[in-house]
Structure 1
Amino acid sequence: MADDFSVIDSHIHLYPENEIPTLAWATTENPLAKQHSVYDYKIASAHAPVEGFIFVETDRKHDLEAGAKDGSGWEYPLMEVSWLRRIVLGQPKPGEGHGPEDAGLCSAYIPWAPVPSGAAVMEKYLAKAEEAAGDSWDKVRGFRYLLQDKPDGTALGDGFIESLKLLGRKGYVFDVGVNQHDRGRIQLEETAEMIDKAHDGVPDEEKVVFILNHLCKPDLTVTNIHTDTSFIAWRTAMFTLSKCSSTYMKLSGLFSEMDDWLKKRPVEDIFDAIMPWLSVVLAAFGPSRIMFGSDWPVCTVGVDGAWGKWRSIVDRLCYMASLGEDDMKMILSGTALEAYGIKKERRSEFEFVY
């Protein structure tokens, strides 16, 4: 049974209470604006075997212009790298909610990076990030710069593409956070163009790996998938993106795109409602290019027992698709290990074997 297989959770967020003011989105009204620790995550996922997790940056405040000039705009993202260093090395500060026994749980982490600023600035940032990471640096498998709230065209700028090519040469992946639900089809179209530009003229072994987050945040409020232009555009984009080389998709983040009434329904009802989106992604990417991700703790907003419910939904997808054990294991852990280059030896100081 799929629920017996261990998981590499490919998408979680963590932050200590004393660093919440550094988060760009953390208002006093936000239900997520409280400490979310490794201990908290272990409780949330306790009913299922979790082999490890991949931490993804939590949108810390930053200043691109100041960062490019003298590095001062990178203070809070680098603070986050130091936070992950303490988790990975098992060296917590009092009250942070993790201990030495948790050091092995972080399979990899994906910090923020000033991707729009170009390769020269990225080189400076990587040196600063490596210093902040210390002995945990080998757990850094890639970087993210959230695109979902950025102006149209951001991902197509010369500096952005230059930085992506740099990441590819160094063997790092790029996590792609876009939002079709709120921003429309242009984010999907620009994502495909971004990938093409970043891979143009680049040898296969140096092409940056792209990992698409949260099914690109589709609009789950659609009532008629046969005629709705939003769904048709999203479905077309999924098959287009699946044809891009070195590109993977996370099965994650869909609770955030649901109506509140659906979040409160039984797992079976939720699965039936979102099956059209799940089936498209499975058909487009296949089990070897999709990976389980809980999006904890974001998934908990308005959803009781969210981690377990999402695991049940993914298990149900595997069952309904009549997947064999090997395919189930790829979705639950194997794809993440492969895409992020986890548990493999480095080729050189900056590169991983994929």
Structure 2
Amino acid sequence: MASSQSTTGSTIIDSHIHLYPKSEVTSLAWYTPENDLAGKQQSVDEFRAATGSPPNLAGFVLVEADRKNDDSKDWTAPLQEIAWMRRIATGQPKEGEGHSAEDARLCLALIPWAPMPLGPEQLSKYLDAAKQEAGPAWDKVKGFRYLLQDKPNGTCLSDAFIDSLKLLGRKGYVFEIGVDQHRRGRHQLEEAVEMIDRAHEGVEEDHKVVFILNHLCKPDLAILNQTSDTSFIAWRTAMFTLSKCHRTYMKLSGCFSEMPDNLKGRSAWDILVAISNWLAVVIAAFGPSRIMFGSDWPVCTEGVGDDAWKKWHTIVDKMCDMASLDQEARDMLWSGTAKKAYGIEG
């Protein structure tokens, strides 16, 4: 597919990657000895190899990797992860950790875990501990994530959770929403809508927390008849509802995990055709100024292989062609939206 435009002129920020040293894999909540991702180090060296280090790759947003937290009460592993993030962001690795002093320039923002269900009083104590652990890297902490995809229904709608969101807003931090319609159903989408409404209710505009939706909210990308499938219709409705809040952004990421296995191995063009209806909805709902490129590396490699980052980059590039996005819109999608949403300078 020929194109008069491409990402060649666009700076790229990968808005969603996970990194961890081999020495700390047992602190991951999802760790098992058989898990390929947890069985080896996933650091900056491996990330750069996966991308091919294109000259227009400005850097990445490092998102927490779900360390053990004992239902939010034990902060040992999450604070250990912040120490790891600090070493990357300040270019001070321990021996064998897979990154160097020069790699610090690639780390543009940090999104640690936070104990959102505990309420603002405990969250404030955690933020103080996190700030002390982050030290000189604290200025790169732009927000926090608490995965909702595997939590009981209603978790994000408790008064304590909502008040925690309001605290983040007052402090100028974003909150990353990780929900999973594919495995948990439309209820998670409906709760996300209600959570955003309640978190912004009665709050001054400048103090309303910014929400960043991960991975298209994980729709089922195996659906064949999107015109009549109730799951697709529910997802599409939720996308337009969520997009009505101008302080809500969407990450164009995580799609490989929601595809059937027989699609993951197909060409970038075949994949684009297969998921084009989902991508079209996201573009129509949010527009390029509220969509940001993200790879979900290294999770994206599962079932796809080591070329997953490059394949997803190609898919998104072809999507820009298909949508006839002009250069300004492409620049926003590839890096501008991430800069705006996270407050990344430069």
The two structures share one fold, judged by TM-score above 0.5: yes
Secondary structure of the 1:55 match is strand
Q: Is the 2:214–2:250 Cα contact (8 Å) retained in structure 1?
A: yes
- CA distance in 2 between counterparts of 1:326 and 1:178 reads 30
The answer to whether 1:10 aligns with 2:11 is no
User: Are the counterparts in 1 of residues 252 and 291 from structure 2 also a CA contact under 8 Å?
Assistant: yes
Distance 1:141 1:294 in 2: 19
Letter in 2 for 1:7: I
Alignment of structure 1 residues 121-270 onto 2, 5 Å: 121-270=122-271
Query: Which residue does the alignment assign to 2:344?
Result: 342
How far is 1:185 from its partner?
Answer: 0.1
The offset of 1:64, in angstroms, is 3.9
Report what 2:287 is aligned to. Answer: 286
Cα deviation per residue 1:29-68 (whole Å; 9 max; x = unaligned)? Answer: 2111121010000111115331010011000001246x3x
Following superposition of structure 1 onto structure 2, how do residues 59-78 of structure 1 map, counting pairs within 5 Å? 59-64=66-71, 67=73, 73-78=74-79
Structure 2 unaligned segments of length 5 or more: list them.
none
Q: Does 1:308 align with 2:310?
A: yes
The letter of the residue matching 2:310 is G
- The letter of the residue matching 2:208 is K
Q: CA offset at residue 2 of structure 1?
A: 2.3
- Displaced runs of 4+ in structure 1, greater than 6 A? none
* Contact 2:7 2:330 survives alignment (8 Å): no
Secondary structure at 2:144's aligned position in 1?
strand
SS of the counterpart of 2:75?
Answer: helix
> What is the DSSP-based 3-state SS (H/G/I as helix, E as strand, rest coil) of the residue aligned with 1:107?
strand
- 8 Å contact from structure 1 (residues 23, 59) kept in 2: yes
| Backbone CA RMSD of aligned residues | 0.9
Counterpart AA for 1:134 = G
How big is the shift at 1:275? 0.3
Distance in 2, Cα, partners of 1:84 & 1:180: 29
Count of aligned residue pairs for this structure pair? 338
Q: Distance in 2 between matches of 1:63 and 1:245?
A: 34
The 5-angstrom pairing of residues 72-91 of structure 1 reads 73-91=74-92
The separation in 2 between residues aligned to 1:312 and 1:151, in whole angstroms, is 36
Instruction: Say if 2:58 is the partner of 1:51.
Output: yes
**1: distance between equivalents of 2:328 and 2:224?**
34
Separation of aligned partners in 2, 1:290 and 1:16: 30
Structure 2 SS opposite 1:9: strand
Secondary structure at 1:51 match in 2: strand
| C-alpha distance in 2 between matches for 1:57 and 1:184 | 24
For 2:32 and 2:241, how far apart are their aligned partners in 1? 37
C-alpha deviation, 1:314, in angstroms: 0.7
Residue 322 in 1 paired to residue 324 in 2? yes
User: 1:28: Cα distance to partner?
Assistant: 1.4
8 Å CA contact 1:64–1:117 kept in 2: the answer is no
Aligned residue type for 2:60: F
For the Cα contact (< 8 Å) 1:9–1:293, is it kept in 2? yes
Residue 335 of structure 2 corresponds to 333
- The alignment partner of 1:338 has SS state of helix
TM-score (norm 2): 0.96
TM-score between the two structures when normalised by the length of structure 1: 0.94
Q: Is the 8 A contact 1:47 1:308 kept in 2?
A: no
Q: Which deviations, in whole Å up to 9, do the C-alpha atoms of 1:221-270 show, x marking residues without a partner?
A: 10100110000000000000000230000000000000111001111100
- Give the SS at the match of 2:250: strand
Alpha-carbon distance in 1 for matches of 2:244, 2:71:
32
Shift of 1:3: 2.6
Amino acid at match of 1:323: L
Query: How much does 1:327 deviate?
Result: 0.3
Aligned mates of 2:271, 2:117 — CA distance in 1: 38
What's the % identity of the aligned pairs? 63
For the 8 Å contact 1:219–1:257, the answer to whether it is kept is yes
Q: Is contact 1:15–1:37 with CA below 8 Å preserved after alignment?
A: yes
Letter in 2 for 1:31: D
1:15 counterpart letter in structure 2: Y
- Answer yes or no: is the 8 Å Cα contact 2:148–2:179 preserved in 1: yes
Correspondence 1:23 to 2:43: no
> Residue 108 of structure 2 aligns to a residue in which SS?
strand
C-alpha distance after superposition, 1:275-320 (max 9, x if no partner) = 0000000000000000000000000011131001111111111111
